[in-house]
Structure formats: C-alpha cells, structure tokens
Amino acid sequence: MRFARTELSRQRRQLMRAILDNPKEAYFLSSRELARRYSVDAATIVRTIQALGYQRFADFAADLREHFVRQITPYTVAKAASQEKRSVGGHVEHGLDRDSENLSVLKSTLDTDRVRRAGDADPPLAANPRGRCGSRGVAGVVPGLRPDAGRP
C-alpha cells in the first residue's frame, strides 16, 4: 500500500490506520459503505485515497484486498476453521471439496498445449546414467554452482 510514502493529515492517517488494521472488515466495502463504517463522509474516503495516489477507488480496493490476503497465515485459517462447528470428518470433507473445486478450476483454465510446448522447449531435469543431475539440473538453477563441481 502507498500509505507509508505519503504525507497525510492526522485525521486521514487515523482513518487509513483503522482501515489497514481491520482489512477483513473493510476490503469488500464500497467507498460509501466504508465511509459509513468509519463515520466519515464518502468524499473524505475518496479524497484520502486520491491523496495516496490512487486515481480510482477500485484500485485502492484491489490493494486493500491484496493487503488482506497477505495477512492470512496458516494459523488464521486454522483459527477460522476451528470456529466453524464441524466435526473432524466435516473439516476433512470440506477440505476435500475445496481441493476438488480448485482442481476443477485448474483443469478448466490450464492450457495443456502451452505446457507441452514449454516442456518440449526446456526438457525436465533428468538424471544421467551415473545418477547425477545433468548440467541443466541444480547447477542450471543455482547461481554460482558449476555443472562440473564435485565430479571426480
């Protein structure tokens, strides 16, 4: 977010701090709803985000959503899941359902031809007959590691 680099009045800093400290309560709100939530005029919200350098509220909202997502940790997810009234089996079933949905989305959006072309252009890492990675193996991706390092 652009908050740290911008000169804001004390009131605008307080407003932005309140929004950033509670992104889960604000990331989905419109500018009017955000104004209502923080007891300010909608124009104050718009002027504040413009002072931060955003041209449109939608750009600010996208950054706020990204900020919210970055705050999510495995602990946050586990805590939220524990607050749901499910049995252990229910949590497992819910996780499997989500995984299945994610795989369906991946399958429907994956360009397999592009993946094949990429694989043909850059063959996968393969072991040579002596069991060592070829020159395109680890040495090809670790800076400073020579392909012949460690060979007799």
Q: What's this model's pTM, rounded to 2 decimal places? A: 0.47
Examine residue 30 and state whether it is found in any structural domain, yes or no: yes
Examine residue 141 and state whether it is found in any structural domain, yes or no: no
User: Are residues 34 and 78 located together in one domain of the fold?
Assistant: no
Which has more confidence, 127 or 99? 99
User: Are residues 21 and 52 located together in one domain of the fold?
Assistant: yes
Report pLDDT digits (tens) over 31-65: 999 999 999 999 999 999 998 888 988 888 888 88
| C-alpha span between 40 and 18 (Å, rounded) | 12
Examine residue 138 and state whether it is found in any structural domain, yes or no: no
User: Are residues 79 and 104 located together in one domain of the fold?
Assistant: yes
User: Are residues 14 and 32 located together in one domain of the fold?
Assistant: yes
Range of the domain at 18: 3-71
CA 58 to chain centre: 18
